[in-house]
Structure 1
Amino acid sequence: MTLTSVSTGRLLPSDPATRRVAEELYRLMADLPILSPHGHVDPGMLATDRPFRDPATLLIRDDHYVTRLLHADGVDLASLAIGQEEISDSEAREIWRLFCERWHLFAGTASGYWLRSTLEDVFGMERLPGDGDPDTLFDALSEALSADDMRPRALLERFDIEVLATTDDPLDPLHAHQALAADPDVRTVVRPTFRPDAYLDPTGAGWNDRVERLVATVDRDGYQGYLDGLRESRRRFVAQGATSADFGVLSAVTAEIDPSHAAALFDRARKGELSSGEAELFRAHMLFESARMSTEDGLVMTIHAGVFRNHHSPTFDAFGPDRGHDLPVATRFVEPLRPLLQRFGTAEGFHLVLFTVDETTFSRELAPLAGFYPSVFIGAPWWFLDAPDSAARFRAATVETAGFYRGSGFIDDTRAFLSIPARHDMARRTDAAYLARLVSEQRLRIAEAERIAVDLHDAIPRRAFKL
């Protein structure tokens, strides 16, 4: 995977003795293939293999990590051409200039790290956006993007991505996945991921229409048709190579209720008659039922909890979802997940990967849960936490309780395709640094650290995500 020289000290300890150990450990990880079991790359982009348009579209406009900080500095999202299907060269160039003028805003941020790594390691650029003359850099990047070795499929090969999971609607026909699987020249295994959120929340916009289309696939109406439709969609995903089902929820509350009660709630939901409390109960029950389905079909259940989606309604109304205003909230797992874990926590073959953007839960809830339940795996630092310092805090908060082997392995969780190697390289470097400290403190033998270093980015994600 490595796109940079192993000798670079990026993210490695400043103490010379510890750094030498970290460099040796990093060498063991650097060339391992990338396993990306959860992310949001568009499979259609890979299937069509069209060249990337321009630097602004690729690196700025559709990356909400980037646009959110520009917006916080007073940049109108409309000036970034967000929502436009096509932008002209002059528009792209103007967006790039605007971004370069504000490059200093990204100093010290995860976004700045990914962007710098991408520009230096993928494009080989020595000039950064804040170095002046943005047009020259724009032209150099545009020229690089026109080359065949910068097309999406060539980058899959260059990045050495062995497995890449996308995130897909339950009724997606999966044509792009079928085309990629049938192409002998695509060596990366591109897997769909079942993401049913919009079908489980009766308060969501368009829920009734989605449910109508879902039950039509099994030619059976009512609550049982709804469950059968979800099971049939999951079966279709499994047939196409899916290994996980993902749930992005505000709360991890689960509940087991009588089927007749659930059917009554479903019928009231179809009529738009649910109270807010009843809607919450239905969501909690469907998260529980989704776990039951995972025990039946083997899909790993991943829960990304604790995010208040679309916090600013005017921005959502104007530009839609995923525009940088999904914000973390305090999150609980121990009590909310107890009904689910009471029934399925020790079920053979059931895997539950728990992600949070609330760091306080790492040592208090996630590590203790994973330290008892064979089904529970600690999800890697995610979203606002997928940064070097957060990754180090994550290791310190979880390893002493659950060890290294109750984790999920790193996930990049990104739409920014070109940042995938930078993200995985960051995780490998921070893991090397953490392990090197334990060796230096005589808490691990070097042979133990060497095995763990490789397992963290190979055996552990393969096991957790059933790869």
Structure 2
Amino acid sequence: MALLHDDRLFPADPATRAVARRLYQEVKDLPLICPHGHTDPRWYAENSAFPDPARLFVVPDHYIFRMLYSQGMRLEDLGIPTQTGEPVEQDPRAIWRRFAANYHLFRGTPTRMWLDHAFATLFGIEERLSRDTADAIYDRIAARLEEPDFRPRALYERFNIEAIATTESPLDDLRHHAAIRDSGWSGRVITAYRPDPVVDPEFPGFRENVQRFGEITGCDVSTFAGYREAHRRRRQYFKSFGATSTDHGHPSARTTDFSLVEVETLYNRVMGQAPVTPEDAELFRAQMLTEMAALSLEDGLVMQIHPGSMRSHNPALFARFGRDMGADIPTPTNYVQGLKPLLDRFGNERNLTIILFTLDESTYSRELAPLAGHYPCLKLGPAWWFYDSAEGMRRYRELVTETAGFYNTVGFNDDTRAFPSIPARHDVARRVDCSYLAELVVTHRLDEDEAVEVAHDLAYRLAKEAYKL
């Protein structure tokens, strides 16, 4: 049996499925717009072969090792490097075998669908990954990875990517982006400004990061005015490498709009010698969202807010392996009261774009759709992270469209560091959206010619326009 069924994710009802098939045919081959993600710019700069199947699929993907860890597997046995220098598994075949023997754990998950898509479409694999097929599939993938057609730039072109954004800290020197630019390659790989290390007082090394930030930008960060100017300069530097957006991964969507005197006083506290209190940390992050909106109004960068994750919920795992180890957990998020200070100041600005994401699905119809359905500056990002799934995307469309419509949303972005999964993620989104639109057609809420136009917008145009690509 083939890994991929032609009608996967389409409606079971034959009439609706027929419409979904027609809509999908209109959009399935459109170029991929990838305006937000976490792939490594080094891949495109150096264009080296990926080392082996384990380091392509398993080691960098927290969706995979999170599931395996939940079933009692040690991250060391999956080759995940420790911060403290303890030895970890170095044999990629051993890592792959452990993964393959536990592939059944991913049944019903989006990860399984993404992996099967990559195995089938990239490597021509038709048998299911398992303990018994592990070595044969490993050998087939490993052999293909040695071919020039499987280098990062070739895959970028094969995936039909029109533009892809990576995400870097203000402390990053962007050397890989410089190498991409200077190489003459035509692929469009841009950066995005993620200031968390220098705007979050609870980020490890925050005060040292701010001092380094001042050195990089030549600004006197002993004052808030100098610190703010450092952001202005660094954002311009990022724009010189193609950046069209900023990104903010705060624990909440809280904002403030303090006076200059109040901000300076708060800045002195978070930069002082005393430990930062949780309330001061939250207030400073809240103020910095408003400051970033002000800077976006100046320089035109689109602002993304990704709130609502309690990062590194597992302290033992964080101490041993660091951030982004699959231990981030969604939390309730308040947008109506949280964003009000920012929106009081900037909500009616037509030349500002703020894209809101959520890990709190209860806010879709109650808060986010009404906010985006009113304020000119607001757009809604797609179903994100834990909800980047067929069911999550469907719930998003059902809860958001009736109030915000399609055109206060920004299409799809894959938000991934797992490069081979990018085409699969876009394909899932296109199939789900076409299925949703097909239901509107068969229930006579939308004509099919309109559905074709909307499907194209959701798959391509909205993301390209929202992110100024």
Q: TM-score range by the shorter chain?
A: over 0.9
| TM-superposition CA deviations, 1:277-298 (whole Å, max 9, x none) | 2222121111111111111111
Output the amino acid matched with 1:285: Q
Are 1:23 and 2:25 matched, yes or no?
no
Please tell me whether the aligned partners of residues 53 and 96 of structure 2 are also in contact (alpha carbons under 8 angstroms).
yes
Are 1:8 and 2:28 matched, yes or no?
no
Structure 2 distance, partners of 1:284, 1:246, is 14
The residue that corresponds to 1:122 in the other structure is 122
44, 47, 71: which is aligned to 1:46? 44
Partner secondary structure for residue 422 of structure 1: helix
How far does residue 204 in structure 1 lie from its aligned partner after superposition? 2.0
The residue that corresponds to 2:141 in the other structure is 141
The residue that corresponds to 2:257 in the other structure is 256
Structure 2 distance, partners of 1:460, 1:131, is 43
Output the amino acid matched with 1:256: D
Please tell me whether the aligned partners of residues 162 and 187 of structure 1 are also in contact (alpha carbons under 8 angstroms).
no
Please tell me whether the aligned partners of residues 119 and 128 of structure 1 are also in contact (alpha carbons under 8 angstroms).
no
Structure 2 distance, partners of 1:391, 1:143, is 35
Partner secondary structure for residue 410 of structure 1: coil
Q: TM-score, with normalisation over the residues of structure 1?
A: 0.96
Structure 1 distance, partners of 2:219, 2:196, is 22
How far does residue 179 in structure 1 lie from its aligned partner after superposition? 2.1
Structure 2 distance, partners of 1:163, 1:225, is 34
The residue that corresponds to 1:353 in the other structure is 355
Are 1:436 and 2:434 matched, yes or no?
no
Structure 1 distance, partners of 2:88, 2:316, is 26
The residue that corresponds to 1:396 in the other structure is 398
| TM-superposition CA deviations, 1:264-322 (whole Å, max 9, x none) | 22122222334332222121111111111111111101000100000011101111111
Are 1:61 and 2:59 matched, yes or no?
yes
| TM-superposition CA deviations, 1:125-153 (whole Å, max 9, x none) | 01221272311111111111111101100
Q: Which runs of 5+ in 2 are unaligned?
A: none
Partner secondary structure for residue 450 of structure 2: helix
Please tell me whether the aligned partners of residues 171 and 233 of structure 1 are also in contact (alpha carbons under 8 angstroms).
no
The residue that corresponds to 1:317 in the other structure is 319
Alignment of 1:97-176 (within 5 A): 97-130=97-130, 132-176=132-176
User: How many residues matched?
Assistant: 462
Please tell me whether the aligned partners of residues 370 and 404 of structure 2 are also in contact (alpha carbons under 8 angstroms).
yes
Structure 2 distance, partners of 1:408, 1:209, is 36
Output the amino acid matched with 1:176: H
Structure 2 distance, partners of 1:205, 1:88, is 24
Q: Which runs of 5+ in 1 are unaligned?
A: none
Structure 2 distance, partners of 1:187, 1:364, is 44
Structure 1 distance, partners of 2:88, 2:157, is 30
Percent identity at matched positions? 44
Q: 1:394 to 1:219 in 2, by over 3 A?
A: closer
Are 1:215 and 2:214 matched, yes or no?
yes
Please tell me whether the aligned partners of residues 193 and 245 of structure 1 are also in contact (alpha carbons under 8 angstroms).
yes
Output the amino acid matched with 1:203: E
Partner secondary structure for residue 255 of structure 2: coil
Please tell me whether the aligned partners of residues 223 and 264 of structure 2 are also in contact (alpha carbons under 8 angstroms).
yes
Q: 1:272 to 1:252 in 2, by over 3 A?
A: farther
Q: 1:17 to 1:396 in 2, by over 3 A?
A: same
How far does residue 436 in structure 1 lie from its aligned partner after superposition? 0.6
How far does residue 183 in structure 1 lie from its aligned partner after superposition? 3.0
Partner secondary structure for residue 170 of structure 1: coil
Please tell me whether the aligned partners of residues 300 and 350 of structure 1 are also in contact (alpha carbons under 8 angstroms).
yes
Structure 1 distance, partners of 2:278, 2:118, is 45
How far does residue 187 in structure 1 lie from its aligned partner after superposition? 2.7
Q: 1:341 to 1:93 in 2, by over 3 A?
A: same
Please tell me whether the aligned partners of residues 218 and 225 of structure 1 are also in contact (alpha carbons under 8 angstroms).
no
Partner secondary structure for residue 246 of structure 1: strand
Structure 2 distance, partners of 1:110, 1:412, is 12
Partner secondary structure for residue 75 of structure 1: coil
How far does residue 188 in structure 1 lie from its aligned partner after superposition? 2.4
Are 1:343 and 2:342 matched, yes or no?
no
Structure 2 distance, partners of 1:227, 1:104, is 50
Please tell me whether the aligned partners of residues 357 and 380 of structure 2 are also in contact (alpha carbons under 8 angstroms).
yes
RMSD: 1.8
Please tell me whether the aligned partners of residues 391 and 427 of structure 1 are also in contact (alpha carbons under 8 angstroms).
yes
The answer to which of 281-290 and 131-140 deviates more is 131-140
Partner secondary structure for residue 411 of structure 2: coil
Structure 2 distance, partners of 1:225, 1:354, is 28
